[in-house]
Chains A and B, each alone.
Chain A
Amino acid sequence: MRVGNLTRTAVMMGMLGAVLMTSGCSWFRRGGKTVDSTGDDMLQPGPLPEDSSVIAGREAGTGTRITDDPAAKIENVLFDYDSYQIRPGEMPKIERAAAFLKGNAGVTLVAEGNCDERGSNEYNMSLGEHRADAVRAALVGMGIDGGRITTKSFGEEKPADPGHGEAAWRVNRRVEFGFYR
């Protein structure tokens, strides 16, 4: 799989190189498949070359996500519109997550914050992070080592329900528990 990808990348980079050498002009004029109404070409460069670097501080969530343990299946914590406040009725879910972490010493948690589709994507990324952080803070308040929990926002990018009404929005304003071992 990996070798296949590398081979394909190498072939595409080679093709790109050939196009570059023949055209000799700036990047936005390189050849490719026509996709727009003006008749111009779209670059098909393949995966971007990238500097490899280790992301430090994200040890939590680097193992395998636990999907086979019923105790790890905890309902999503739901939120009000434009709010990161944990409603009292949602606290039992967080308590169950705390109990699971206490009973499984090697397990780490990624608290995944999400928003409904309304509003600014950027603000929703921030709001989703704030929701995840609120859940993390609640867990730390229950005696869980904060080093076992990392937060991750998807903003409005990963709805649980792809619909567009209040019913979908209600379940999309959430924090999901992702346990890793």
Chain B
Amino acid sequence: MARVWGLIAAAGLMAATRTTAQVEIVKPGTERTSLSLTEFTAAGGNSAQVFRRTLEEDLKRSGCFSLVAGPASLMIQGRCGDAGGTVTADCRVQNRAQGKEVFRKSYRGEAAGARRLAHTAADDIVLALTGQRGIAGTRIAMVGLRGGRKDLYVCDADGGNLTQISRDGAPCLSPAWSRDAQALYYMSMHRGFPDVYRVDLGSHRRNPIATYPGLNMSPAVSPDGRRLALVLSKDGNPDLYVMDLGTRQLTRVTRSRQAAEASPSWSPDGSQIVYVSDRAGSPHLYVVAASGGTERRLTVRGRQNVGPEWGANGLIVYSSLRDQCYQICVADAGGEKDQLTKDYADHEDPSWAPDGRHIVYARSAGHRSGLYVIDSEDRSEVGLPLTEGSWYSPAWSPR
């Protein structure tokens, strides 16, 4: 089933690509536990159907299971229903090999929130079965271009619940999540200049964070949530800075007189920052101590290397210009390890899911850009079903 799903995704990619896509469907030797929802029924109206369908899709997208129609090692059992504007679900998981129930939980919520409720159930089940919580309940922030207007948007990890955050119709870029996933930092030009703002997703209040003369962009929140790395040009050409979010005090990290810097991202322990600099002529990746010091070039392959994000798993995902296309690559502290995409399209601005396994990126071909998610283990790719428009700069939320 997972194989079929992968093939469908691959077929979709090939249809959208000018040349034949080279997509590895399943890494040889990968064996997933079979899982079935045939003993989990939905009764009642639309919300119950939405719950069941979302739960099934979420378990499939987790990448942990091979979903089958008949008997499986793991049987999801129980039922969901909706009545009077409320959706309820009783979920159990039977491990047939062990002959015992390994999960049981009941859910109840507003019918309108059936998708979110299913995401919660899926993440609980993934946690019970794998020891690591799933990512169905996480969200993705992005820039959308619709009707000639650019704005900030957020959707669920599966592309649902698409929500417009700003309504400026002005150039904006590179959203970055706060550690509690309740706020976004991003660059917007809605007041004429490229400035960095913070948007509280609860109150929708927007605060200016960096409005210095020249360029203010590329905010990145430190792992401890207390500092913001960003690129400013207030002291000359663009350089990397760190702002203390408590005091708003700035520390200058790079001092390149003849180079432009961009796209900082923190190491998991908060001690180092990976970023883009064109000090060698073309943009490539460098690593520097967050307190400043001598930078070290990380990437040597590719004509350009841009848009890095340092995952909690220690791996840096970025976009590398190979032949004529930007491709998603992964590096560790020692340099490039792997190239994940290979098809004829530009793959940009990758961002790790908090499971350290899935990556969202913007894929553009024919001057339209959409968001795709790749499973870094089996290399299967799937597009997010967003509405009409072009979508850029995705950022995956923390859990």
Contacts and interface: CB of A to CB of B under 8 A. Distances in A.
Interface string A82-101: 10100000000000000000
B161 A122 contact: no
B121 interface: no
A146 B2 CA distance: 62
Interface string A51-63: 1010101100000
A37 B164 contact: no
A103 interface: no
B113 A120 contact: no
B311 interface: no
Interface in B233-290: 233-234, 236-238, 259-263, 276, 278, 281-283
Contact of B204 (A36, A38, A49, A122): A49
B232 to A, nearest CB: 10
B386 interface: yes
Contacts of A40: 115, 160-162
Interface stretch (B72-80, B94-102, B206-214, B374-382): B206-214
B292 interface: no
Contacts of A55: 191, 193, 195, 208, 211
Interface residues of A, number: 49
Contact of B160 (A26, A36, A47, A153): A36
A50 B205 contact: yes
A38 B159 contact: yes
Interface in A1-40: 23, 25-29, 35-40
A123 B304 CA distance: 11
A14 B252 CA distance: 44
B134 to A, nearest CB: 18
Contacts of B307: 120, 122-123
A172 interface: no
B199 A37 contact: no
Contact of B113 (A25, A47, A122, A133): A25
B222 interface: no
Contacts of B171: 154-155, 157-158
A46 B165 CA distance: 9
Best-buried of B112, B116, B192, B237 by chain A (most CB within 10 Å): B237
A109 to B, nearest CB: 13
B205 A51 contact: yes
B185 interface: no
B213 A58 contact: yes
Contact of B262 (A23, A36, A123): A123
A29 B113 CA distance: 7
B385 A129 contact: no
A125 interface: yes
B46 to A, nearest CB: 8
A82 B238 contact: no
Given A43-B163, A120-B306, 12 more contacts: A36-B162, A36-B385, A36-B387, A48-B205, A49-B204, A50-B206, A53-B211, A120-B349, A127-B278, A152-B192, A153-B214, A164-B367
Interface of A: 23, 25-29, 35-51, 53, 55, 57-58, 82, 84, 119-123, 125-127, 129-130, 133, 150-155, 157-158, 164
13 contacts: A28-B154, A29-B113, A36-B161, A37-B387, A38-B115, A38-B385, A48-B166, A55-B193, A120-B307, A126-B231, A126-B238, A152-B192, A154-B171
